[in-house]
Amino acid sequence: MLKFMKKIPGGLLLVPMFISALVATFAPGLFRIGGMTEAFLTPKGTNFIVALICFCSSTLLDLSTLKHVLRKQGSMLLLKIALCFGLSFLFSNLFGPVGVLGISSLAFAVAITSLNPSIYLALISDYGTEEDRGAFALTGILLTPAFPMLVFSIASASNFDWISLLSALIPTILGILIGNLDRDMAKLFSPMVVPLTPIMGWIFGSSINLIAAVQSGISGILLTVLYYLAMFPIIYLFERYVLKEDGISTFGITSIAGASVPFPLILAELFPEVAAYAPTATAQIAMGVIITSILTPFVAAKFAQRHQIAKNQPLD
């Protein structure tokens, strides 16, 4: 099984995520029995697994090399954040809550703010450097509901709970502190990132209902196309021609996370004016997760092959 997963771009993530999505679709209550099983094999484990991987990966962030990490991944994420705020504000003000072409402002905001850290980790593990892997913690900041909440609240002129954002930062800060105070601790925790990837893939997949995703139809596909058009070209040009890097990191941060699937329902509780659009938005996001989880690693692998970007040695 492990050898098979390694043959697929992003396979350590995608294979368990797809199997988990099948379970969530056809036997959704199988692991919802409470206790440790439910915490380990359902969306209830999302916050913990992301926080744990953020902590472990951030121990790699050596403060002496932080300048380079922030110059590359930090600046790319800042650009993505700026695009999220600007485009969400523009979409909301142009089309209102109802949106356009069946895509509500809620669905658009959740989609463009999404970033699948497990796709990032899978691609960077294959093609990136140790510093790239250390920057995984930065991507985890955008995974929590706090980020789409912040973007949507500003786009729709609503209030925001800043504690949610602080909560997303603490595991990363702790990892940086512990890793820099004791490099032996960094050596202990940082190797855990790759083995945890299949577990993260499973938990993300447990949020995906494949039937609901397919039922979103054309609107789900259109939302995915909008996501790629909004995120990929500008960030890719920035990485290639401003940062003078190979472009792989752009693929890593251009995929919709399975953890974002329940976000429309979460935001609907805080913003009742868009509650009517939440079920459709949820199905559309699920479709986006499926498409980007397959397409992004596949295109990234072809891109790396074409540009002769060497693949790192896989772990035995």
Is residue 316 assigned to a domain?
A: no
pLDDT of 153-194, one tens digit each? 888 766 666 776 677 778 888 988 999 999 899 899 988 878
Contacts of 17 (CB under 8 A, 6+ apart): 118, 201, 202, 204, 205, 208, 258, 293
Give which of 181, 164, 143, 145 is closest to 53, Cα–Cα. Answer: 143
Of the listed ranges 36-50, 56-70, 93-107, 273-287, the least confidently predicted one is 56-70
What's the pTM? 0.75
Query: Within its chain, how far is the Cα of 172 from the centroid?
Result: 16
Please check whether residue 157 lies inside any domain of the structure: yes
Instruction: Kindly report the three-state secondary structure assignment for every residue of 28-97.
Output: CCCCCCCHHHHHHHCHHHHHHHHHHHHHHHHCCCCCCCHHHHHHHHHHHHHHHHHHHHHHHHHHHHHHCC
pLDDT digits (tens, 9 = 90+) for 73-127: 889 989 999 999 999 999 999 999 999 999 999 999 999 999 887 788 888 888 8
Q: Is residue 312 part of a domain?
A: no
Answer whether residue 32 is part of any domain.
Answer: no
Least confident of 167-181, 262-276, 280-294: 262-276
Number of H helices, E strands in the chain: 19, 0
The gap from C-alpha 90 to its chain's centroid, in whole angstroms, comes to 23
Taking 70 as the threshold, does the pLDDT of residue 140 lie above it?
no
Q: Which two tokens stand for residue 248?
A: 């792989």
- The residue type found at 81 is I
Token match 């609907």: residue?
268
- The pLDDT value recorded for residue 40 is 92
Lowest pLDDT segment from 1-10, 53-62, 84-93, 156-165: 156-165
Per the model's pLDDT, the better-predicted residue between 210 and 133 turns out to be: 210
pLDDT of 242 reads: 94
What CA–CA distance (Å, rounded) separates 248 from 190? 22
Residue at 314 is within a domain: no
At residue 165, the pLDDT reads: 67
How confident is the model over 230-253, as a mean pLDDT?
A: 92
What single DSSP character describes residue 116? -
Q: Is the pLDDT of residue 316 over 50?
A: no
Tokens of residue 53, six digits = 């991987």
Examine residue 315 and state whether it is found in any structural domain, yes or no.
no
β-bridge mates for residue 103, sequence order:
100
For residue 153, count CB atoms less than 10 angstroms from its CB and return exposed for 0-12, middle for 13-18, buried for 19 or more.
middle
Domain containing 151 — which CATH number? 1.20.1530.20
Residue 254 Rama label (left phi>0; alpha psi -120 to 50; beta)? beta
58 falls in which pLDDT band (50, 70, 90)?
confident
Residues 6+ apart with CB under 8 A from 246: 127, 239, 240, 307, 309
Reference 115, options 245, 263, 9; nearest CA is 263
Domain count, the chain: 1
Report the alpha-carbon distance of residue 229 to residue 231 in Å, rounded.
6
State the residue range of the domain holding 278: 2-27+37-306
The DSSP output letter for 308 is T
What is the average pLDDT score of the chain? 84
Helix/strand/coil for 314: coil
- Using alpha carbons, list the distances in angstroms from residue 82 to 90, 152, 235, 285: 12, 13, 11, 21
pLDDT at 315 over 80: no
Tens-digit pLDDT profile for residues 186-234: 899 988 878 888 898 888 788 778 887 787 778 999 999 999 999 999 9
